[in-house]
Amino acid sequence: QVQLQESGPGLVKPSQTLSLTCTVSGGSITTDYTYWGWIRQSPGKRLEWMGRITWRGDTAYYPTLKSRTSISRDTLKNQFTLQLSSVTPEDTAVYYCARDSDVDRTDAAVYDYWGQGTQVTVSG
């Protein structure tokens, strides 16, 4: 069973860069046709797909976040990382890492394995 676990600071100051890591166990981030995504949910809002990295290391981002978002990976550690720059209080949310497979999609609802989520608050 694939398991994902987010880690990173819970509090980030405005204008700083938010950095989160997702550690994957029970499966490899290089398994063919797997897509490893970052998704967030702000209070009172829908799940928002932020971007993903594929089993080959290709990345894609939600258009309105593209200029501030970077996703990378460490295949030796079986981890992938989110960096979101120039954060504002509107970036306060629960951040999830998740896995999709077979088809490349941007709908957060279709991801089948999820981390438990980590609360990130932008304040300072």
CA distance 52 to 58: 8
CA distance 89 to 4: 26
- Model pLDDT, residue 73: 98
> What's the pLDDT tens digit per position in 48-105?
999 999 999 999 999 999 999 999 999 999 999 999 999 999 999 999 999 999 888 8
47: pLDDT strictly greater than 90: yes
Quote the percentage of the chain above a pLDDT of 90: 91
Mean pLDDT score of the chain: 96
Tokens (6 digits) for 72:
């990378």
